[in-house]
Structure 1
Amino acid sequence: MGIPTTNCPVQIQIWVDDNAVSTNSRAGVYLVDNRVASGSEAEGTPNLATACSQGTNVCWQVMLINPKSTSNVSIQSIGNSGAWGFSGQPQRAPDNAAAFTGTVQNSGNFSYPLAINVQVQGGSGVTVNLSPSVAVSAG
């Protein structure tokens, strides 16, 4: 069973400008987290580096910047990374279909593949592949 979003002290939001990504570009994708005071870097870019402590639960959520947009966005997958360890692999959250949750288990600096789907109203779907990272300090 997955981790509920309410059990995640680290929150990462993926903001999508559907007009920009419809051209198959990473432009228009902005990652932010609640960890700037703890050392996160590259806030507001597709290359967010989230600072967190070993054993911490993390939640990712994707949303459209324009609340009136008729497009749909979703997290397709969060891929393998050394940060997740043996049993921390992020997966769809049990309490929010638009979110993924996981646990950082290993200390160090790790990138991870993040794929989001954008379905623009009246257009074809686009998959945007990102490579943010986590800087995990020993618990």
Structure 2
Amino acid sequence: MVEQFAGTWTLAASENFDDYMKAIGVGFATRQMGNMVKPNLVISVGDGGVISMKSESTFKTTEVNFKLGEEFDETTADGRNTKTTITFENGKLVQKQAWDGKATTLEREIQDGKLMAKCYMDDVVAVRTYEKQA
């Protein structure tokens, strides 16, 4: 169930994120900020199946509100305007973003009490590990 994702998660580890940002077309200065910042991910499930996912950092805060399986317009932290759909498949929140003829997939799942976010763009994979705040 999606409820297992609810809570506040703090970025604890990040692997290959710079290469992922390069692959999706993020410029150098924004990548530098993206590599330094340790965002909190706040996920909540509201009435009517609306899910809120907020990324909070000293650099930028972004928030999306969505229903599973329904496409919505998203402006990402790096300024891309995407058509995004988030589904729940095999225990994972799967976020697909499409823009300018490109597409990327982010899979979030709970493993050993940690939220693992895998970011896929072509053959580049980044893994970001979040720990739940008490």
TM-score by length of 1: 0.27
More strand as a share of residues: 2
Higher helix fraction (1 or 2): 2
TM-score, scaled to structure 2: 0.27
